[in-house]
Structure 1
Amino acid sequence: MSSLPSRPAGSAPLALPPGVDLETFNKFIQDVTDVVGAENVEVIVSMNQIDDKSYEDPTHTHDPHHIVDQDYFMASAVVAPRNVADVQAIVGLANPLSMPLWPISIGRNSGYGGAGPRVRGSLVLNMGKNMNKILEVNVEGAYCLVEPGVTFQDMHNYLVENNLRDKLWIDVPDLGGGSILGNTLERGVGYTPYGDHFMMHSGMEVVLPNGELIRTGMGALPDPRKPATMGLKPEDQPWNSSAQLFPYGFGPYVDGLFTQSNLGIVTKMGMWLFPNPGGYQSYLITLPKDDDLKQAVDIIRPLRLAMVLQNVPTIRHILMDAAVMGTKTDYTDTKGVLGDEELDAIAKKLNLGRWNFYGALYGPEPVRNALWAAIKGSFSAIPGAKFYFKDDVPENSVLRIRDLTMQGIPTFEELRWVSWLPNGAHLFFSPIAPVQGEDAVAQYEVTRRRCEEAQLDFIGTFTIGMREMHHIVCIVFNKRDEDQKRRAHWLIRTLIDDCARRGWGEYRTHLAVMDQIMGTYNWNNGSFLRFNEVIKNAVDPNGIMAPGKSGVWPKNYKKEEWTL
Structure 2
Amino acid sequence: MSSTSQVPLLSEKHSGIPENLLEKAKRAKALIYDIRTKDTSTRQRLPVVPQGIEKYAFIQALEELAQQLGKANVEINDKLLSVASAVVNPSSTEEVQKIVLWANKYSIPIFPISMGRNLGYGGAAPRVRGSVVIDLDKRMNKILDINPDDYTCLLEPGVSFYALYEAIQAKGFDHMWIDVPDLGGGSVVGNTLDRGVGYTPYGDHWACHSGLEVVLPTGEVIRTGMGALPGNNTWQTFPYGFGPYSDGIFTQSNYGIVTKMGMTLMPNPGAYESYLYTFQKEEDLEALIEITRPLRIGNILENVAQLRHGIQTIAVKGLPRTKYFTGSGAIPESVLDIIDAEFKKIPSARKIDPSTLPKDDYFFSRDRIAAGVPDLVELLWVNWVPNGAHVAFSPVSPIRGTDAMKLYSLGKRRHDEFGIDFLPAFIVGLREMHLIVEIVYDKNDPVKRKAANDCLREMIDDAAKLGYGEYRTHLVLMDQVAGTYNWNDNALMKFNEKLKDALDPKGILAPGKSGIWPSRYRGRGWEMGKGSGERSEGDGVA
TM-score range, shorter chain: 0.7 to 0.9
Alignment partner of 1:497: what SS?
helix
Q: 2:354 aligns with which of 390, 402, 426?
A: 390
CA RMSD of aligned residues (A): 1.6
8 Å Cα contact 2:311-2:423 kept in structure 1: yes
Alignment partner of 1:282: what SS?
coil
Please name the residue that 2:159 is paired with. Answer: 150
Q: 1:34 aligns with which of 67, 72, 78?
A: 67
**How many equivalent pairs are there?**
485
How far apart, in 2, do the equivalents of 1:82 and 1:560 lie?
36
Please name the residue that 2:332 is paired with. Answer: 339
Please name the residue that 1:525 is paired with. Answer: 489
How far apart, in 2, do the equivalents of 1:19 and 1:251 lie?
39
Q: 1:561 aligns with which of 517, 525, 532?
A: 525
Residue by residue, what CA displacement relative to the aligned partner does 1:26-77 show, whole Å, maximum 9, x if unpaired? 1210121112212222112242xxxxxxxxxxxxxxxxxxxxxx54xx1010
Whether 1:121 and 2:130 are equivalent positions in the alignment is yes
Q: Which amino acid aligns with 1:86?
A: E
Whether 1:192 and 2:212 are equivalent positions in the alignment is no
How far apart, in 1, do the equivalents of 2:426 and 2:315 lie?
16
Q: 1:317 aligns with which of 309, 312, 315?
A: 309
Residue by residue, what CA displacement relative to the aligned partner does 1:359-386 show, whole Å, maximum 9, x if unpaired? xxxxxxxxxxxxxxxxxxxxxxx96111
Q: 1:106 aligns with which of 115, 118, 134?
A: 115
- Counterparts of 1:65-464 in structure 2 under 5 Å? 71=82, 74-164=83-173, 166-223=174-231, 240-325=232-317, 326-348=319-341, 351=342, 384-464=348-428
Please name the residue that 2:470 is paired with. Answer: 506
8 Å Cα contact 1:390-1:403 kept in structure 2: no
How far apart, in 1, do the equivalents of 2:301 and 2:420 lie?
33
Structure 1 residue 121: Cα displacement? 0.3
Alignment partner of 2:282: what SS?
coil
Whether 1:494 and 2:502 are equivalent positions in the alignment is no
How far apart, in 2, do the equivalents of 1:317 and 1:12 lie?
44
Q: 2:53 aligns with which of 20, 27, 40?
A: 20
How far apart, in 2, do the equivalents of 1:410 and 1:270 lie?
20
Residue by residue, what CA displacement relative to the aligned partner does 1:376-401 show, whole Å, maximum 9, x if unpaired? xxxxxx96111134333221211111
Please name the residue that 2:436 is paired with. Answer: 472
Residue by residue, what CA displacement relative to the aligned partner does 1:80-134 show, whole Å, maximum 9, x if unpaired? 1111111000111110222111000001010111100000000000011110000
8 Å Cα contact 2:45-2:79 kept in structure 1: no
Q: Which amino acid aligns with 1:392?
A: T
CA 1:387–1:12 in structure 2 vs 1: closer, same or farther (change >3 Å)? closer
Structure 1 residue 183: Cα displacement? 0.1
How far apart, in 2, do the equivalents of 1:45 and 1:402 lie?
40
Range moving further from structure 2, 29-38 or 180-189:
29-38
CA 1:258–1:219 in structure 2 vs 1: closer, same or farther (change >3 Å)? same
Alignment partner of 1:473: what SS?
strand
TM-score scaled to structure 1, two decimals? 0.84
How far apart, in 1, do the equivalents of 2:62 and 2:481 lie?
34
How far apart, in 1, do the equivalents of 2:275 and 2:327 lie?
32
Please name the residue that 1:375 is paired with. Answer: none
- Counterparts of 1:529-540 in structure 2 under 5 Å? 529-540=493-504
8 Å Cα contact 1:282-1:389 kept in structure 2: no
How far apart, in 1, do the equivalents of 2:66 and 2:112 lie?
17
Q: Which amino acid aligns with 1:257?
A: I
Alignment partner of 1:283: what SS?
coil
How far apart, in 1, do the equivalents of 2:46 and 2:98 lie?
22
8 Å Cα contact 2:176-2:268 kept in structure 1: yes
Please name the residue that 1:228 is paired with. Answer: none
Whether 1:550 and 2:523 are equivalent positions in the alignment is no
Structure 1 residue 241: Cα displacement? 1.5
Structure 1 residue 353: Cα displacement? 7.0
8 Å Cα contact 1:13-1:77 kept in structure 2: no
Alignment partner of 1:267: what SS?
strand
